[in-house]
């Protein structure tokens, strides 16, 4: 579920939203997080981490083919 590009974009958006809260307990650098997304099928799911956590993403050809912008 989701291409590498889509996961990177989602991660950037979450990082931005979290940073905009200006919460005093957030670190000054990159905010570490993990999103778990469940799809409509039991086998359809995704884990999205902050971009700094995944330096070399694993590419799933099935997910890459579903990306309309690739």
Per-residue pLDDT of the chain (70 residues; tens, 9 = 90+): 999 999 999 999 999 999 999 999 999 999 999 999 999 999 999 999 999 998 899 899 999 999 988 6
End-to-end CA distance of the chain: 15
In a domain, 69, yes or no: no
SS3 34: strand
* Domain with 14 in it: 4-57
- 43 occurs within a structural domain: yes
Backbone angles phi, psi at 39, to 5 degrees: -85, -175
In a domain, 16, yes or no: yes
Residue 69: predicted pLDDT: 87
pLDDT at residue number 47 = 96
Is 66 inside any structural domain? no
Whether 36 maps to a domain, the answer reads yes
Q: Is residue 45 included in any domain, yes or no?
A: yes
């Amino acid at each position: 579920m989701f291409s590498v590009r889509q996961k990177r974009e989602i991660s950037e958006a979450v990082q931005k939203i979290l940073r905009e809260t200006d919460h005093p307990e957030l670190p000054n650098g990159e905010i570490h997080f993990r999103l778990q997304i469940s799809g409509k099928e039991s086998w359809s799911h995704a884990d999205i981490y902050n971009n700094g956590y995944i330096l070399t993403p694993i590419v799933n050809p099935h997910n890459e083919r579903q990306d309309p912008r690739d």
